[in-house]
Amino acid sequence: MDTLERLMEISNRIEHLENTAEWIAKESIHTDNGISQSGTLICVLADEIREAIYELTRSLESESEEDEIEHFH
């Protein structure tokens, strides 16, 4: 499995986690506020993880491009 496929798999899992947490938050809003808040927190954390992975990937790609440029000069 190459890196892009692995990143897509991770992204899909994060999206599934986020969707499930959102459903839990909505379904429990009137019955258990603590569970609802936990679902909302999971949604926020999933979004932050996705953003961190995106930034890490961009950083690694940038470093790789810089290494290639230095190698040719």
Please report the pLDDT score of residue 72 as a whole number: 65
- The pTM is what? 0.77
Looking at the domain assignment, is residue 45 inside a domain? yes
Q: What is the pLDDT of residues 6-65, one digit of tens each?
A: 988 999 999 999 999 999 999 999 999 999 999 999 999 999 999 999 999 888 888 877
Q: What is the pLDDT of residues 1-19, one digit of tens each?
A: 688 899 889 999 999 999 9
Q: How far is CA 4 from CA 22, 24, 32, 45, 64, in A?
A: 27, 30, 39, 22, 15
Domain of 24, in residue numbers: 3-68
Looking at the domain assignment, is residue 73 inside a domain? no
Domain count, the chain: 1
